[in-house]
Amino acid sequence: MSNIVAIVGRPNVGKSTFFNRLVQKRQAIVDNVSGVTRDRHYGKSDWNGNEFTIIDTGGYIIGSEDAFEVEIRKQVELAIEESNVILFMVDNQVGLTDMDKEVAQLLRKSKKPVLLVVNKVDSNKNIDDTYEFYNLGFEQFFTVSSQSGSGTGELLDEVVTHFDQGDHKDPFEGLPRVAIVGRPNAGKSTLTNALLDEERNIVTDIAGTTRDSIETLYNKFGHEFVLIDTAGMRKKGKVSEDLEFYSVMRAVRAVEECDVCVLMIDATRGIEAQDLNILFLAERNRKGLVILVNKWDLIEKETNTMKAYEAEIRNKIAPFNDVPILFVSALTKQRVHKTVEIIMEVNENRNRRIKTSRLNELLLPIMEITPPPAIKGKYIKIKYVTQLPTRTPQFAFFANLPQYVKEPYKRFIENQLRKHFNFTGVPIEVYFRQK
């Protein structure tokens, strides 16, 4: 279940300052693990044990005031469609502006909770100035200082009360959940149709109870999974999709709700920055991943075309490149069945559990022959390994001096795990702990 909080508001009110405050601590840790550069629009945070995703919808508005009108409308529509709670931020130092009123107008259409956040209230003596914001017509408002952090706690206490508590019944409990994502026009709808259309009798559409996702059961040829499709992704043409940011934001919810993410690439365009953003999103969320190079029917083939294409992709997505890459045509249904098989295999890999005895038998001798390099004359001794009881593959290695084990050695270990067990398409994590 995903909980997504979106921050909207006119430029310069402090959205990214607030965003950074929330994601900072955690992001530093996550980035360290994956080596991925921080996305300035998307991050993870938590409050009292409630994990959530925070999206900063700002920062890309360029050009004239007219352009602003259009952009802010898109921002707000996206926030309404894709998030669970919306934070509408205004600036107490500047006071109430016409732009704020326009944003408020758009937000009134939302059925999702909107919390008005008056930012830059740096000291209590500014509180009196905030009352003009009552004119925006929101029942409740919160005063914060993104710079110092004051007021954040009270705001978050309220935010988490609006989260999906997961108390509704999932009719597809236990089945793998699959999201098809990719840039506009990559062929997502065509693939969905190819998978589902012809055998209508075994296709059921169930609109999400508290969410807006549409979930469709795929059950053919002995394979069963749930295709998830968010309402926002389905509505076509409502928002122009030319900006990199939008296609990523549209993918956020689908990626969070899935077990396996199918990333579709248009073969005629190749893998692009947006695709990599979605891929990192899946990796950071520890989801299974399958890459489909679609529209392969349009490519002129010579010897090695496929090989070269594949090599280029693997190079671009490194270091996480133990990922299935399939060349398909959703239109002619070429290799669509194979795609299903691979999705199921990746899901199986993601659930793979390896016995502690087997891990130790295999890895201890390898680590004996190739130990981590000694640091300042100190030798690192790894005593045993175990897979953690987590939902996705994570391994703990117990050692005398875990702090001395560096990234390259962790990579080496990860590669050994991948060499001996099938974890294709699955991010795995390796931790070193004190023993």
- Least spacing, CB of residue 218 vs ligand GTP, in Å: 17
| Contacting range for ligand GTP; rule: CB under 6 A; set: 6-14, 69-77, 130-138, 379-387 | 6-14
Give the residue carrying structure tokens 């795995």.
Answer: 428
In terms of CB distance, is 12 or 400 closer to ligand GTP? 12
Q: Is 41 in the site for ligand GTP (CB under 6 A)?
A: no
Sequential DSSP letters for 294-315: E-GGGSPP-TTHHHHHHHHHHH
Binding test (CB under 6 A) with ligand GTP, winner from 130, 146, 274, 347: 146
- In angstroms, give the least distance from the CB of 282 to ligand GTP: 17
If binding is defined by CB under 6 A, does position 356 make contact with ligand GTP?
Answer: no
Phi first, then psi, for residue 262 (nearest 5°) are -100, 110
The region that residue 157 occupies, defined by phi over 0 for left and psi between -120 and 50 for alpha, beta otherwise, is alpha
According to DSSP, residue 329 is labeled: B
Report how far Cα 402 is from the mean position of its chain's Cα atoms. Answer: 30
Beta carbon nearer to ligand GTP, 84 or 190:
190
The reply to whether 122 sits near ligand GTP by the rule CB under 6 A is: yes
In this structure, the dihedral spanned by the alpha carbons of residues 227, 233, 234 and 240, taken in order and rounded to 10 degrees, is: -160
List of residues 6+ apart from 81 with CB closer than 8 A:
212, 230, 231, 232, 235
Output 116 or 186, the one with its CB closest to ligand GTP. Answer: 186
- According to CB under 6 A, which one of 185, 219, 360, 424 is a site residue for ligand GTP? 185
Q: Going residue by residue from 277 to 306, which x/- string records binding to ligand GTP, judged by CB under 6 A?
A: -----------------xx-xx--------
How far, rounded to the nearest angstrom, does the alpha carbon of residue 137 sit from its chain's CA centroid? 33
DSSP 392: S
Q: Is 411 annotated as a binding residue?
A: no
15 binds ligand GTP (CB under 6 A): yes
189 is in an annotated binding site: yes
By CB under 6 A, tell whether 253 contacts ligand GTP: no
Distance, CA of 121 to CA of 102 (rounded, Å): 22
The answer to the question of whether 2 is labelled as a binding residue is no
207 is in an annotated binding site: no
Question: Which string of x and - marks every residue 219-238 that binds ligand GTP (by CB under 6 A)?
Answer: -----------------x--
Closest to 245 measured CA to CA, from 107, 421, 58: 58
In the chain, the amino acid numbered 41 is H
Number of residues that bind ligand GTP (CB under 6 A): 32
Q: Which of 189, 219, 360, 394 binds ligand GTP (CB under 6 A)?
A: 189
**Residue 58 binding ligand GTP, by CB under 6 A:** yes
The reply, when asked if residue 183 is annotated as ligand binding, is yes
Tell me the H-state helices in 209-272: 231-234, 244-257
* Identity of the residue numbered 412: F
Phi, psi of 44 (to 5 degrees): -115, 145
Smaller CB separation from ligand GTP, 150 or 386: 150
* 342 versus 430: smaller Cβ distance to ligand GTP: 342
Q: Kindly state whether residue 151 participates in binding ligand GTP, applying the rule CB under 6 A.
A: no
21 binds ligand GTP (CB under 6 A): no
The DSSP H or E segment spanning 390 is none
β strands within 328-387, DSSP E: 382-387
Q: Under the rule (CB under 6 A), what is the footprint of ligand GTP?
A: 9, 11-17, 58-59, 119-120, 122, 145-147, 182, 184-190, 236, 294-295, 297-298, 329-331
